[in-house]
Structure formats: C-alpha cells, structure tokens
A and B are shown apart, each in its own frame.
Chain A
C-alpha cells in the first residue's frame, strides 16, 4: 500500500505542483473549473427550469410535423440503420478483448469521478428576479444528493473490491460496449421522471407527478436494442463464413442507406403504377441490354477504334437530353453508360471480369431505378408545412445529402484547379474563390429568395432542394481545396506509369489518381460531415424547421395547453448537448479511423 501511495503522491506533485508557477496555475484553474461546474449544475437543477418542456416535445424535436399514425416509420428507419450497424460491427470484429480487471478498473475510475462530482455540486444557487432582486434558492436537497450518491458509491465500492481479485476472464470489446448501452435502456424501465399530466378538466397538474417513462418510448428502444444485438451476432456469423463479397457490399449499403431511407421508408412515396410500367421497366431492360452489348464487345478489335467516338456520342446525348422532358431515369442511365464506356476497357478483358462487371451494372441500374422512383414520386405524408422533413430528420438530411452532393462537385473543381489548361484553371479558381469569400448564410438567403428568379417557367424546386444545391457549391468549394492538397501529393511517377500502360486521361483520373488522392482526404471527409451537421443549423434563419428553430421559436411559444414561454435557455442547452453528443462521437471515430489508416505516417 505504501508504494502505491508514494507513486500517486509523486504523480500529483509532478503534474500539479512542480513549481511555484505551476502551483498558482493549478489553484487558479482548479477554482475556475469548480466554479464553472457548480454554476452549471445550479443552473440545470434550478427550480426556474422547465425540463418537461423537452420531454413533452421530444417528438416535435425529432420528426416535427410527421403524421402521427405513420411515426413508426421513424423507428423503422432507425432500426434499419441499427441492423446495418450491427452487421458492420459483427463482420469487422477483430476479436479484441478487454479483461475483466480492465473493465472493473474503468468502472471504478468513472464512478469515483461521478461520486466526487455529486459531492461537489452546490445545494443552493442565486436566482435573479425581474425586479432585480436576488435570492438563494435550494437546488439539490440533501435527500436528492443521497439519492444520487448511494447507487454511485455502491458501484464504486463494488468495483474497488472486485479489482482486488485478479480475474483473467476476457470479454470482446464491442460486446462490452453493447453491454454498457443496456444501462440507459434498462434505466428507462426503472426510473421515474417528472411527467406532465392533465386532470379530467384538461388542466395541467402542478407539480409534475413522478411517473415511469412512457411505454411508447421504452418499448421501441428495447426492441431496437435487441435488434442491434441480433444483427451483431449475424455479422459475426457472416465473418466466420468468410463471405468475401460482403467486404464491398456493406460499405456500399451504408452509402445507399440514407438514399433508401429518405426516398422510400421515411418518405412513403405514392407510387403510380403506370409510370413504373411505362418508364422504369422498359428503361431498365433497354439499358441492361446496352450494357451487356458494351461489356461483351468493348475489347473486340473491330470496335476499339470507335470506343472514344461512342463515349463522346453518349456524352453529347446526355448533354442534349438534359433539358428535355423525358424521365430523369433515362438521363441518369445515359450518363452511367458514358462512365461504363470509359471504365470497361480496363476491366472487361477476362471472362471473369466481364461477368463481374455485368453483375455490377445490372445491380446499379436496378438500384438507381428503385431509388429514383421513390424520390420522384410525391410523398404520402401530409403535413402543415408541406414537407415531410422537420426537426432532427431535416438536420440529418441536410448533413448527409449535403456531403453527398458536394463531394463530386468538390472533386471536379479540384481536378479543374490543378489542370494544365490555363483557362479552365482560372475559371475553377475563380469559382472557388467567389463561392468561398461569401459567408454561408448569404448563400442561404440567395437560395431562399433569389434562386426562384433565375429559374425558367414552371420549374420549381422545394426550398430544401435549393438549400442542397447551394450547399453543393459551398461545401464543394471548401472540399476542393482539401482534395487539391491530396492531388498534389501524388508523385509524377503514377501519371507516367498510367500513360505507359496506355490509359487515357479519364481512366487515369478515375482508376489511378483519385483513389490515392481521396485516401488522404478521408479524415477531411468525416470532418466535412461534422461541419455539414453544424452548418445545417443555419437553415433556421431562412425558415426551415430544423432542431434549432424548434428549440428557439416553436417550443418557447407554446402557451396552450402547457405554458413554455421563456424556456429558450433550457431548450438551447438541450440542443447544445444534443449536437455535442453527435459531433463529439463523430470526431472521436474520425480520429480512430485516421490512426487506423496510418495517415500522416511514413
């Protein structure tokens, strides 16, 4: 025991009190941190706060005006995402284990910190009234403090005792994390929270009764938790079976997942069957035949001369039909044929390559047709604001789709900026500088007020689509600068090698240059998702009902049947915590990915 104490005391002395200056700094910083903590806790537990405003309006925050009877779709969307997450976690599980002692030591650290925090929290805080008078009100009674402290102290003691034994049993790291997730789910069934209740006359009962959490919340979360575990085991099973093709399929599924959710599951499109029969099925059939012909005969010597003409021809066709009134599916598929023509010669050389390319082509056009049918049909969700997106679903859409559309645009701009042709370089540099020099909110005003002026007759885009177009330009320009750095880091030898084996410029860009450049900017891509997530809050200023606007304008103006006027600060604190949770998790994961990819290391 004596040696342990000496080590810990030495650590304290070296890290906190190593010199006079260090001691002063420790005291000052410690005082500031403790005061800030006590102020925050006093603020949170003050009787002036109305936290039921948030629990009562949680559905408003998440899906805003979504139809009540269809709200299961929101749960289903989360469920589908969790299934994919579970399978991913299980499939790529490396089997890293955490020993029992490590787990218990971690628990001890966490819960001892929590008990210190509970002991440090204030019992009174100063409240200012409107007439300028201040009084001290009690925030945490000693009864409440004991209620918090006893379970935490028990767990602390238990983990301390258990750490005395050295047990070598080890558990899978991911399973441990999933097990920790069961605590909030279980707590939901056990604890009682202040709930807003109404009596027979429709009046609110004050003070709020302590009731268990509503089953409309606990049951779905429990089901989703079980689903997560089941899909984790499925993923592990698939890993054992060593199905190699899943290695590419699962990331592609992640890419397609938001598109699927927001054009089918969450959107509930009203599909017109005659459109399906007249447009989709003929289109898919025609283009699969075209694709088959191309893949079959592209490497044939008779047609090798005409390859470039064919590609140019299809490209010109795409440009020509872009403004005609034919189904969007055909325009997209024609453009895909161009890409196929450019990529096929390098892959369709062997019989195996031809087979795989054909399968990929068929799957791609089927998925495209499916998604475009969903997004092209009107939605079956009828809401007062006209859009089925609102609250947190809108934030997600803006962040994810914003990144999706800005990525290709950024790549094109970066390629143009590093081009050897001076005019194209000047134009792309000009676009990037002009777009970047103006703040984002100005572009949002442009999208909301001025873009309609520039559109020809009859063409009308939803405000959300306009915001996404503007985001494509803006984030794309920022992105282009980062990709440019990646592009410039590729050695000239790569270009020479690609030329030596006879690749043309497009093949070189898509098969050699871009994969290397983009690998270096993957951390920036994740950072860009985080930035898009934070910037999506700006649409509150132009009138879209995202989480922030609901927190500042919708909830604090509710006066009937519950009066939540003046709760802006509470709602903002909740929103801040909400955003913080997501952004912090993303940035942690991106740091881990960066370490895994070994970027920045020679």
Chain B
C-alpha cells in the first residue's frame, strides 16, 4: 500500500481508505446512538404512562424507613440513606481487602510448603471454598449465627465477649477527643521510620556495614508511638492552626477567584499537552506524521479542557442569573470550602487532652420496659449478623483466589534465581525477601487488583443476608419511591467510581514496578 497519509485522492474519493474507515465508524456510531435513543425514548414514554416520571427530587424527601446499621439509622433524606449504604459497603471493602490479602498470602505460601499436611490442608480448603457459590457460603454463615440463642431480658448487663442470634459483641477502643491528632501523629511516625529505613539501607550500599534497618526503624517507630500516646500527639495541633488560617483565607477570597484559577490552569495544561503531542510526533521515526490515534487524543483532550473551563464558570453564570432575579448585590458561588477547613480545625484542636482511644466493653440493654433486648451501640463493638456473614463470606472467597495469585506469582520466578541466591550463601529467609518476592510481586499485582475489584463487587450479595449495603438500600428506596432508573444510575456511578479508584491505585503501583525494557 502506498503511503496512506498522502493527500486525498479526489478522483476516487468515495473509495479512499481513510474516508471509508471514518465514515464506517461514524455510521456505526450514529446507528448505535439511534438505537440507544429509541430505547431511551420508549423508556421515558412508558415511565410517563405510569405516573412515575423520572426525577431526582426524592433525594431530598424523607424516606419512612430505618436502616439496621450505619451512621444514621433513621436517615432524614434519600441522599443520606444512600450515603449510609455506601458507607456500609466501603466498610466491608476496605477491611476486607486488607484481611483477604493477609489471609490469601498465608494460604498461598502454605500451598507451596514442603510440609505435607499443611499443603494438603490449604489445597483442601481452596477446593472446598472455590467450588461452592459465594451466596451459598454467605447464607450458611448467616444461618450459623442465627442458631445461637437469642438475647433475653435476664442477660442484661456488662459483658466481655458474647455471641447471640443478634450478632457478636466484643470490647473495642473508642475514639476520644484527640483521636484525629493521634492518627495523624501515627502517619507522621510511619513516614519518619520509613525514611530512617531507607537511610540505613543507603548506609549498607555505601559502607558495606550491617545497618540493621529493621531494628533501627522499628525502635524509632515504637519510641515515637509511646511519646505520641502519652501526650505528644498534641504537636499535630499545628494542622488545626493551618486549617484555621486557610479557612480564613478562603472566606476572604470569592469563589469565582479560585474557580477561574482552576479553569486557567486546566486550559494551560491542555494547551501544553496538545503541544507536547504535536512535538512528540515531530521527532522519532514517524517524522511529522500523526496517526489517527494522536488526532483523536488531541481532540478529546481539547474537548475535556474546554468542558472543564465552561463548567467552572457555569455555576457562576447560573448564580449571576439568580443575582439578577434576587435582590442581593454580590453573590458568591458557595462550594463550602471555608466550612470544610473550619471542620478540620475543630478536629485538630491543640487543647485536647487525655488518652486518644479508650477501651470500651459491650453491654446488653433492655429497650424501655419491653421484652426487646439488644446490644448497646455506644459500648464496645457489635458485629451484626449481616456484617458477619457478608464480611466472612467475601473475605474467605477472595482470599482463596488471592492465594492462587500468590502461588502462581511465586512459581513464576524461575528456579535459577533461588539457586543463584542459595549458591551465594543467602539464608532461605533473606532469599524469599530479597530475591523471590520482589520479582513475584510484579507478576502478582494486576491479578491481585482484579481480585480486589471482585471483592468490592461481591459485597453486593449482602442483600441476601440482610446487610444494608448500597444495593439493599437502593432496592428499598426504589420500592418506596418507584424511581428504579435513578437508583440504577446511582449504582452504576458508585460502583464505577470504586472500580476506577481501585484500578487507578493498582495501575500506579504497576507502572512503578514494571520492567523497564529497551
């Protein structure tokens, strides 16, 4: 084929390859959009015929339902109800990911063990859990807890650990005043000890002495934590002071200022991106020829940037309209930024004192002279039946698949590596840490991310065990309000967001660790 990017052939325009390709794609796109619009219009027509038109107003209405667990058992609006559902789902996802990785790694290493009974037991567990549907396992855990005896009035009082058909209660530290300060202090200590770890490793490379990196960093970490616990956390009150200053700053500046700043930055960055694309093609083998791909990317980048700029000014534009109708002289678009910083300042007040966390024991209380008893929500921690069944089911199921990923990752490192390490005189433990795991980690990362996504999506089965996560809450809402389409859009948006977030983190680590090839 001749250089297909030479000038258009006027004589044979209709049969030119480029024209056919692009017109074919556009026709396909138009057909797709037409089909989509047809379905959409049918939907709208059918919805209007049922007296329940599509609307978002129900987000503000008070639903008459209560949720069994979450930060707002009696939500005051549809929006808050959905937020409780999202909070419940994220609770399980975040803790579940950590637990499943931990358990999965142990199981994966167990499957590679030379000990016969350990290997057979791990393989047996894997085969059992993998071949039973997750829903069956969750229901099994739910009914298992439900076989425990119910709470009776005679059980009232303080308890240490208790299991009943209402769930499991156990002691748990409750955050007091200084908990945010202490948490940020812990993060700072971790960063400092990591810095010390890296410093000791550098000493190893430069001087060759044994630097004991773990001993140094862990000692420093322990010392810092002790100081922090006994009052040193107040030093993080600095954050509170800075937040107060920032909130005063944003209070003084009108919203339009930082909106326009953001719009200008995005325009500038978009312009630089397009220029970089053009200059990239000027060098290298292509030498000035841009492919369809590049044109497409530039067009999309330009479109996005202009969209951001318009959106930044749009609220201001809308508010201008209100200003003209209302009788206020000067109207600020209210994004709530100053209040946000004031809220942070309130949590990071330097004057807080006392233990940041206090261990609290659970309690069984009787509800106001009725026969109804329950665990107190303010004492200790209660794991409800739904949470227990969902969490355990999801963690067990995902850890099995993670163990497979770990095992295949470790087996992917060629045996020559461990032979070479052993022949250098490395101890087996250092061999695992310094040679095998770094290489295995690279192979393990993408499938592991896939399993995290599966975990996040499998929490949706909580609806079958009466756990009020977002799918269950959404179903209650659309049964009440009748707005199935809106709830569905919210589901899609939320799960897409969580998936993109997890994929983004995994991609970031992937790019950091991938092999740089010539």
Contact check, B43 vs A16: say whether CB atoms are below 8 A apart: no
Residues of A within 8 A of B127 (CB): 584
Asked if A445 is at the interface (CB within 8 A of a chain B CB), the reply is: yes
Residue B28 contacts which of A32, A423, A579 (CB distance < 8 angstroms)? A423
The 7 closest A-B pairs by CB, nearest first: A583-B131, A423-B25, A439-B457, A439-B460, A15-B116, A534-B133, A437-B499
Tell me, yes or no, whether B471 is within 8 Å of chain A by CB.
Answer: yes
CA distance A163 to B24 in the complex (A): 73
Contact indicator per residue, chain B 46-61, by CB within 8 Å of chain A (1) or not (0): 1100000000000000
* B residues neighboring A (CB under 8 Å): 21, 24-26, 28-29, 32, 39-40, 42-43, 46-47, 113-118, 121, 127-128, 130-137, 139-140, 143-144, 147-150, 152, 292-293, 296, 457-458, 460-461, 463-464, 471, 475, 478, 484-485, 488, 491-492, 495-496, 499-500
Contact, CB under 8 Å: A579 / B135: no
Distance to closest chain B CB from A433 (angstroms): 8
The answer to whether residues A456 and B42 also contact, given A128-B147, A442-B471 and a CB cut-off of 8 A, is yes
- Given A424-B28, A434-B492, A453-B43, residue A579 in contact with residue B131 (CB < 8 A): yes
Interface-facing stretch out of A174-182, A372-380, A570-578: A570-578
A120 to B47, CA, bound (A): 64
Q: Is the CB of B149 within 8 A of A579?
A: no
Q: A422-B292, A579-B136 given as contacts; is B115 within 8 A of A130 (CB)?
A: no
| Complex A-B: 8 CB contacts under 8 Å | A130-B150, A423-B25, A438-B492, A439-B461, A446-B488, A548-B133, A548-B139, A572-B143
Query: Do B135 and A438 touch across chains, with their CB atoms under 8 A apart?
Result: no
Take A26-B117, A32-B121 as given contacts and tell me if A453 and B47 are in contact as well, using a CB distance cutoff of 8 Å. yes
B358 to chain A, nearest CB (A): 30
A406 within 8 A of B: no
Of B29, B128, B292, B460, which is within 8 A of A441 by CB?
B460
The answer for the CA separation of A509 and B233 in the assembled complex, in Å, is 66
Cross-chain contact of B136 among A29, A450, A576 (Cβ < 8 A): A576
Given contacts A442-B495, A541-B464, A580-B128, contact A548 B136 (CB under 8 A): yes
Contacts of A442 in B (CB 8 A): 460, 471, 488, 491-492, 495
Q: How far does the Cβ of A463 sit from chain B's closest Cβ, in whole Å?
A: 15
User: Which residues from chain B contact A583 at a C-beta distance below 8 Å?
Assistant: 130-132
Residue contact A16 to B463, C-beta cutoff 8 Å: no
Q: Which of A1-50 contact B (CB under 8 A)?
A: 15-16, 18, 22, 25-26, 29-30, 32-33
Total A-B Cβ pairs within 8 A: 155
Task: Enumerate chain A residues within 8 angstroms of B117, measured Cβ to Cβ.
Answer: 16, 25-26, 29-30, 33
Residues of B within 8 A of A541 (CB): 135, 463-464
Q: Which of B32, B118, B150 contacts A29, CB < 8 Å?
A: B118
Contact between B135 and A540, CB atoms less than 8 A apart: yes
CA distance A32 to B463 in the complex (A): 32
Task: Select which of A427, A438, A439, A569 is within 8 A of B32 by beta carbon.
Answer: A427
Find chain B residues with CB under 8 A from A130 CB.
149-150
Confirm or deny: A248 has a beta carbon within 8 angstroms of a beta carbon on chain B: no
Known pairs A422-B292, A450-B484, A450-B488; A572 contacts B118 (CB<8 A): no
In the complex, which residues of chain A have a beta carbon less than 8 angstroms from the beta carbon of B150? Answer: 130
Residues of B near A579 (CB, < 8 A) are 131-133, 136
* Structural contact, A454 and B132, CB atoms closer than 8 A: no
Complex: chain A residue closest to B146, CB-CB: A568
In the complex, the answer to whether A576 meets B135 with C-beta atoms within 8 Å is no
Contacts of A441 in B (CB 8 A): 460-461, 463, 471
User: Cα distance A584–B129 when bound, in Å?
Assistant: 10
Q: Which residues of B contact A422 (CB under 8 A)?
A: 25, 292-293, 296
Q: Convert A564-602 into 0s and 1s, putting 1 for each residue whose CB lies closer than 8 angstroms to a CB of B.
A: 000011001101100110011001000000000000000
Chain A 407-427 per-residue mask, 1 if CB under 8 angstroms from chain B, else 0: 000000000000001111001
Q: A423 near B496 (CB under 8 angstroms)? A: no
A25 touches B131 (CB 8 A): no
CA of A421 to CA of B24 in the docked complex: distance in angstroms? 9
Find out whether the CB atom of B46 lies under 8 angstroms from the CB atom of A16.
Answer: no
Q: Is A455 an interface residue, CB under 8 A from the partner?
A: yes
A123 at the interface (CB under 8 A from B): no
Chain A residues with Cβ below 8 Å from B115 are: 15-16, 18, 22, 25-26, 29
CB within 8 Å for A16 and B496 given contacts A132-B149, A423-B26: no
Residues of A within 8 A of B130 (CB): 583, 587
Which residues of chain A have C-beta atoms less than 8 A from B47's C-beta?
Answer: 453
Cβ of B280 to closest chain A Cβ, rounded Å: 18
Nearest A residue (CB) for B491: A442
A544 to nearest B CB, angstroms?
Answer: 13
Give the docked Cα–Cα distance between A13 and B478 (Å).
63
The complex places the Cα of A501 from the Cα of B13 at a distance, in Å, of 27
Asked if A29 meets B121 with Cβ closer than 8 Å, knowing A15-B114, A437-B495, A439-B457, the reply is: yes
Closest to A580 in B: B131
A366 CB-CB contact with B under 8 Å: no
| B499 CB contacts on chain A under 8 angstroms | 436-437
Chain B residue numbers with a CB within 8 Å of A530 are 131
Q: Min CB distance, A418 to chain B, in Å?
A: 14
- B464 and A449: CB pair below 8 A? no
Least CB distance from A431 to B in Å reads 10
Residues of B within 8 A of A244 (CB): none
Q: Do A587 and B114 have beta carbons less than 8 Å apart?
A: no
Contacts A450-B484, A579-B133, A584-B131 aside, 12 further interface pairs with beta carbons under 8 A come to A15-B115, A18-B114, A25-B115, A131-B152, A453-B43, A530-B131, A534-B133, A537-B136, A540-B135, A580-B132, A583-B131, A587-B131
- Alpha-carbon distance A576/B138, docked complex (angstroms): 11
User: Is A124 an interface position by the 8 A CB rule?
Assistant: no
- Report if A129 contacts B (CB, 8 A): yes
Bound state CA distance, A573 and B144, in angstroms? 11
Encoded as 1 (CB less than 8 Å from any B CB) or 0, chain A from 114 to 129 comes to: 0000000000000011
Least distance between A32 CB and chain B CB atoms (Å):
7
Residues of chain B within 8 A (CB-CB) of A16 are 115-117
Q: Are A129 and B149 in contact (CB under 8 A)?
A: yes
A21's nearest neighbour on chain B, judged by CB, is: B115
Q: Which residues of B contact A454 (CB under 8 A)?
A: 39-40, 42-43, 46
B-contact 0/1 string along A447-469, CB 8 Å cutoff = 00110011110000000000000
Give min CB distance, B187 to chain A, whole Å.
30
Q: Is the CB of A572 within 8 A of B136?
A: yes
* Nearest Cβ on chain B to A196's Cβ, whole angstroms: 23
Question: Residues of B contacting A29 with CB < 8 Å?
Answer: 115, 117-118, 121
**How many angstroms from the CA of A128 to the CA of B148 in the assembled complex?**
7
Q: Which residues of A contact B140 (CB under 8 A)?
A: 569, 572-573, 576
In whole angstroms, what is the CA distance A427 to B47 when docked?
28
Residue of B nearest to A431 (CB): B32
A449 and B484 in contact, given A421-B25, A423-B28, A541-B463 (Cβ under 8 angstroms): yes
- A552 within 8 Å of B (CB atoms): yes
Instruction: Return chain A residues, CB-CB under 8 Å to B137.
Output: 576
Alpha-carbon gap, A33 to B152, bound state (A): 35
Contacts A131-B149, A538-B461 hold; do A437 and B118 have CB atoms under 8 A apart? no
Chain A residues near B26 (CB, 8 Å)?
423
Report whether A450 and B28 are in contact in the complex, using a CB–CB cutoff of 8 Å: no
Interface string of A206-241 (1 = CB under 8 A from B): 000000000000000000000000000000000000
Bound CA span A129–B148, Å: 8
Chain A residue contacts of B131, Cβ below 8 A: 530, 579-580, 583-584, 587
Complex alpha-carbon distance, A519 and B377, angstroms: 57
Which residues on the B side are within 8 Å of A450 (C-beta)? Answer: 484-485, 488
Taking the closest CB of chain A, its distance from the CB of B459, in whole angstroms, is 8
A residues near B39, Cβ cutoff 8 Å: 454
Q: How far is the CB of B215 from chain A (nearest CB, A)?
A: 22
- A445 closest partner in B (C-beta): B475
- Among residues of B, the one whose C-beta sits closest to the C-beta of A416 is B28
- When C-beta atoms are compared, the residue in chain B nearest to A11 turns out to be B116
How far, in whole Å, are A439 and B140 apart by their CA atoms in the complex? Answer: 21
Quote the shortest CB–CB distance from A439 to chain B (angstroms).
Answer: 4
Cα–Cα, bound, A580→B127 (Å): 9
